[in-house]
Amino acid sequence: MKKTALLLCGLILIPILILGWLSVRLEQNQQQLIQHQFQALVEVKLQSVDNLFQGHFQRLEAVLKSEASVLNSDTETSHSPLALRQLIKASPYIEQIFILSPTRERVYPRHDNATAQELQFLQQTKTLLDTPTLFAHTQESLTTTQPPTANSVAPQKNTTPLQIAQAPYSAQLKSAPQTQRLTRSAENTRSAETEMPPLSTSSLEVVAADSHVASPTPKAMPKAEPTDSGWIAWYNNTQLQHIYWQTTPDNRVIGFAISRARLLSDLINLLPDQSEIASNHSLSNAVITLKNSRGELSYEWGDATIAADTLTPIKSLNLSHPLGSWRLDYATTSLNKPEQNWLEKLLILVITLSGLSTLGWLIYREQTRESRLALQRVNFVNQVSHELKTPLTNVRMYTEMLESQLDDEQVKQKRYLSIINNESKRLTRLIDNVLSFSKLERDSLDLTLQMGTVQACINTTLDAFTPAFTQRGIKPVLTSQCDTSVLLDPHCVEQILNNLFSNTEKYAANSGTLQIECWQEHDYSFIRIHDNGPGIDEYSSRSIFDQFYRASNKLTDGVSGTGIGLSIARELARKHGGDLILESTPSGACFLLSLHTPISLSHTAVKGNL
Amino acid sequence: MNRYRLPQIKRLLIALCLSSTLAPLAHAKQIDLQVNLATPVMEADRTHNAFIKISLEAIKQEQPQERIPANIAIVLDKSGSMQGDKLYHAKKAAIMAINRLGTNDIVSVVSYDSRVNVVVPATKASDTARIARSIQQIEASGNTALFAGVSKGSQELRKFLDMNKVNRVILLSDGLANVGPSTPNELGKLGLSLAKEGISVTTIGLGLGYNEDLMTQLAGFSDGNHAFVENAEDLARIFQYEFGDVLSVVAQGVEIHITCKNGVRPLRVLGREADISGNMVSTRMNQLYSEQEKFIILEVEVPAQEDRSNLELVDVDIRYNDLFNKQNEQLSSNVVANFTRSQKKIDDAVDTQTYEAAAEQVANEFNREAVEKRDQGDIQGAQSILQKSADYLDNLGQTLSSPKLIEQKEEALQDASELDDEQEWSKKRKELKERQFKRAKQQSY
């Protein structure tokens, strides 16, 4: 029963474990896939913000270009400090303007005639303005540094960016649509995006030391034809600042320093506010933060229920030039909640487990019920057998008493009595077999060893069978060399022999001689019983020791039997430390019984090991 | 005193010439320009430091005129510190103020904490009930993204930005900006940029937690107003004043160009930011309010002159956008000084009002320096500056027999005595900053 239970447990647990493992793997793969997709999606989202910013720089560039062209158009008074100051005053984007002569000498602002603001600007940009190579970029660097934005225009070498000069323009009150129109018209004149080399550590130290200018130098000296405009991003006190420069037709350089605060403000205005997010649900469970070159938070937008500072970003995007060193961080909580999926899988596992368990329990119950019933039946048979034994004993005893009191001449009565006696013996054997069978089944049969000879056992059994043998034309011939007294269980030996003789009696009627040999070797006794009956065919010989097996119908026609005799005989022989085997002979059936029969008690230990 | 001069900038030549020659025929001038010298008669044969007051005042009109439409963005701080009474009063004040607006006015409401929320996008102020409902829904939490709040507020203004409207951001904050740019300098730069577009930012500091430097710089560079409100109950009153100001604007985009002549050297401009380059001084005011005088004080160095000579010191050029006529107007004026050896003539000629105004601004500068000293921890230095200021005011007050200056002297002495109170300093500093701001900009409330 225990075994069955264990088997059932295994049967339930193994599929569950496999299922569980598979679902874990599946879940992991799915998570990875989702994460990859998610990351890609986030990247696209962040990239679109970057594109938005690039668009702003393009618009700004167009605005500044038109400003420059207005300044350039009137060459007589162009670049007069007054006009420049007027422009600085009027344009919300421009913080300062500088002009470099064709030899890259600074023409404006001049130290001798500068306002306080201009002086400050000069101080900050001293190194920058003294590096004329910054304002001439090669075509190569141009192509290599073109940011991969969707709406950026392919770089064109175009040295006359004055096509939109006639557009009446005022920097004041520029509305967004107007700016966009300008951008479109300026697209074919768009020329360059330039890249600044990354801030080296040494220049960073310079910044830290005097809090002024980190002077970047171009990677390569310009050899090819210089382009005519570009963005310079430079660090002032670790804050990123921007200059847009352009060469004028008379080969001057005009540069616009962009108001940093205004730039950030404009960039922020390109980004959505909370009500926009709430209305289009674009960022559920996520926050995007814009960090400046110092890593300080400049702006954040996203799900109102999430605080950005409590989450670690899952994706960061460094913005394109000229906002390099700025970055966007995307933080979200949605990836941290796979419990839902787990729950589902766990539920499936639990359901499968409980289903299998129920099934297993039902099977187990069915089985135990059946075996209980079988046990009850065996017990019943046992009881009945026991109950039968007592009256049978009485029947035999009184039959024998009656037989002994009969006169010799009462032959008829004597014959009847001997039949009664034989039949009751047979019944006794049958009952003994049934009892032994049930004992063997329960493994509760114990041998009662005592001193005795094998020959005595054979004789006792033969005596009992003599009338039956005589009646059925069987003539037992005993060749015995077993008169040594050994330890054995006579009852057990007799029962084995009873079964064998009873078979002979049943199946080998009128077969003549029944040879019974008996010999002893060491601690073993052997008995061979060989009849001359029809024998046992090869097919049956494999199964004759199986319980409830009965040989061919033809043979058993008219012969009663239970089918347990030989199996009990073998079990008993094995119990007795020996065996019962069927030997092949040319005629009849030949059984060889071996028994462990030690000569003294000290030898029983040996038997225990067998 | 008015005299037309050739404009120096060719770009504006034609338009300005037309408007300046035709304007007087078509309309009555809205703005009166006065250029006065504190000491019109100076001692001969020595150099002088002279104060010139350039004042602009909208003239009261005979017939009532239509009000100039306003385009207002109210930017409310809803950070965690605003919770409770503060936000309640702020909302109430904003709603009350919006109810004053007419259907031609545009209003938008932006709230900010760590992030920015456009509560009411720019819209005509006709459905005030709906706007009020939206405002009522604002709840406090989070940090202070002041920069982004102002940015988004000004973006709302830009949707209907019009030079013929009064474009104003009204910022209310009670805390330090801690998301995004947070230095006075950066906010000042933003203010400057907004001013170039014709947007002013009025900053209202609530309680004792805000950064008064940041708020005054933002308001100063964009030529808005600034107010320090200690108790939230006063917010309604301040909003009323502010809206009163906004609704009384008559001219915008006032540019002032001063050219010093005849060897006169500009030294400094008191009160307002100005660019001084060589002999040129330029500055601007974003707007002029009805029946309010706005002025700047220019200090110049006048070279020594002979007895009984005349000298033209400065030429003043004013350009502004007249909101009623929707035209650019120009005004010019100059000032001439006389030189004499007679002390009596000098004394008699003193322009008391001008001198008073100049002295007020000088003392205001002293006050500013004193706060700087106090910030460095030098309480005694600050006190001695204030003492100097008091002496200066006392001296002038006696000579000019001006009760206003004597009053300011008392104020300076009072300030000096309160400088060393560490606990009250935060509040005192906000008061001082507010007062300096109001004096410098001649704020009406």
> Residue A244 in contact with residue A177, Cβ under 8 Å?
no
Structural domains of chain B, count: 3
A114 touches chain B (CB under 8 A): yes
Asked whether residue A146 carries a pLDDT value surpassing 50, the answer given is no
Catalogue all structural domains in chain A, each as residue range(s) with its CATH number: 38-146+192-337 (no CATH), 338-443 (1.10.287.130), 446-610 (3.30.565.10)
A279 touches chain B (CB under 8 A): no
Residue B152 domain flag: yes
Cα torsion angle, A391, A467, A503, A597, sign: positive
Token pair in block for residue B439: 């004096």
- Residues of B with CB below 8 A from A92's CB? 193-194, 196-197
- Residues of A with CB below 8 A from B8's CB? 82
pLDDT at position B29 is 65
Query: Is the Cβ pair A299, B179 closer than 8 Å?
Result: yes
> Residue A125 in contact with residue B287, Cβ under 8 Å?
no
Q: List pLDDT tens digits, range A158-203.
A: 333 333 333 333 333 333 333 333 333 333 333 333 333 333 333 3
A273/A259 Cα distance (integer angstroms): 23
Residue B116 domain flag: yes
Q: What is the CATH number of the domain that holds B35?
A: 2.60.40.3670
Query: Is the Cβ pair A299, B150 closer than 8 Å?
Result: no
- Residues of B with CB below 8 A from A87's CB? none
Mean pLDDT of A113-139: 77
Q: Are residues B363 and B220 in the same domain?
A: no
Residue B303 domain flag: yes
Residue A594's Cα: distance from chain center in Å?
58
pLDDT at position A197 is 38
B278/chain A closest Cα distance in angstroms: 6
pLDDT at position A151 is 36
Higher confidence at residue B48 or residue A198? B48
Residue B200 domain flag: yes
Q: List pLDDT tens digits, range A508-517.
A: 878 888 889 9
Nearest C-alpha in B relative to A77: B10
Single pTM value for the model:
0.69
Which of B300, B324, B349 is the last residue in one of the domains? B349
Asked whether residue A429 carries a pLDDT value surpassing 70, the answer given is yes
Q: Testing the interface with A: which of B275, B280, B281, B326 to mutate, by most A Cβ within 10 A?
A: B275
B151 touches chain A (CB under 8 A): yes
What residues make up the domain containing B387? Answer: 352-441
Query: Is the Cβ pair A275, B197 closer than 8 Å?
Result: no
Q: What is the CATH number of the domain that holds B154?
A: 3.40.50.410
Query: Is the Cβ pair A273, B116 closer than 8 Å?
Result: yes
B198 touches chain A (CB under 8 A): yes
Q: Which of residues 148-167 of A touch B (CB under 8 A)?
A: none
pLDDT at position A75 is 59
Q: Are residues B195 and B123 in the same domain?
A: yes
pLDDT at position A204 is 33
Query: Is the Cβ pair B119, A275 closer than 8 Å?
Result: yes
Q: List pLDDT tens digits, range B276-324.
A: 888 889 998 989 998 889 999 999 999 999 888 999 999 999 999 888 8
A113 touches chain B (CB under 8 A): yes
Q: Are residues B324 and B335 in the same domain?
A: yes
Among A83-87, A345-349, B225-229, top mean pLDDT goes to: B225-229
> Residue B214 in contact with residue B186, Cβ under 8 Å?
no
Exposure class string for B327-361: b at 16+ Cβ within 10 A, else e: bbbbbbbbbebbbbeeeeebeebbbebbbbbbbbb
Q: Are residues B339 and B368 in the same domain?
A: no
> Residue A119 in contact with residue A283, Cβ under 8 Å?
no
Contacts with B304 (C-beta within 8 Å, 6 or more apart), sequence order: B44, B45, B46, B47
Which of B349, B384, B400 is the last residue in one of the domains? B349
Nearest C-alpha in A relative to B156: A269
Contacts with A304 (C-beta within 8 Å, 6 or more apart), sequence order: A274, A277, A278, B115
Mean pLDDT of A197-216: 34
Would you place residue B28 in the very low, low, confident or very high pLDDT band (cuts 50, 70, 90)? low
Q: Are residues B437 and B411 in the same domain?
A: yes
pLDDT at position A554 is 54
Residue B21 domain flag: no
A275 touches chain B (CB under 8 A): yes
Asked whether residue B68 carries a pLDDT value surpassing 70, the answer given is yes
- What does the CA dihedral A161, A167, A170, A174 come to, rounded to 10 degrees? -90
Q: Are residues B88 and B57 in the same domain?
A: no
A462/A476 Cα distance (integer angstroms): 8
Q: Are residues B428 and B314 in the same domain?
A: no
pLDDT at position A164 is 33
- Residues of B with CB below 8 A from A116's CB? 275-276
B17/chain A closest Cα distance in angstroms: 18
Question: Phi and psi (nearest 5°) for B169?
Answer: -100, 130
Q: List pLDDT tens digits, range A357-397.
A: 999 899 889 988 988 898 888 788 888 888 888 888 898 89
> Residue A545 in contact with residue A534, Cβ under 8 Å?
no
| DSSP code of residue A213 | B
Mean pLDDT of chain A: 76
| DSSP code of residue B67 | P
pLDDT at position B158 is 93
Q: Which of residues 259-288 of B touch A (CB under 8 A)?
A: 275-278, 282, 284
Would you place residue A551 in the very low, low, confident or very high pLDDT band (cuts 50, 70, 90)? low
Q: Are residues B359 and B337 in the same domain?
A: no
A14/chain B closest Cα distance in angstroms: 53
Element containing residue A477 per DSSP (H, E)? strand A474-480
Q: Are residues B203 and B144 in the same domain?
A: yes
Q: Are residues B182 and B210 in the same domain?
A: yes
Which of B332, B349, B366 is the last residue in one of the domains? B349
Exposure class string for A77-108: b at 16+ Cβ within 10 A, else e: ebbbbbbbbbbbbbbbbbbbbbbbeeebebbb
Q: Are residues B260 and B323 in the same domain?
A: yes
- Residues of A with CB below 8 A from B110's CB? 273
pLDDT at position A382 is 82
Closest Cβ–Cβ partner in B142, B162, B181 for A264: B181
pLDDT at position A494 is 87
Q: Are residues B171 and B85 in the same domain?
A: yes
Residue B16 domain flag: no
Nearest C-alpha in B relative to A111: B277
Residue B60 domain flag: yes
B328/chain A closest Cα distance in angstroms: 15
Q: List pLDDT tens digits, range A63-122.
A: 998 888 888 776 555 577 888 888 888 889 998 998 888 888 888 888 777 788 888 888
> Residue A508 in contact with residue A588, Cβ under 8 Å?
yes
Query: Is the Cβ pair B114, A307 closer than 8 Å?
Result: yes
Query: Is the Cβ pair A276, B118 closer than 8 Å?
Result: yes
Using DSSP's 3-state secondary structure scheme, residue A381 falls into: helix
Using DSSP's 3-state secondary structure scheme, residue B121 falls into: strand
pLDDT at position A135 is 79
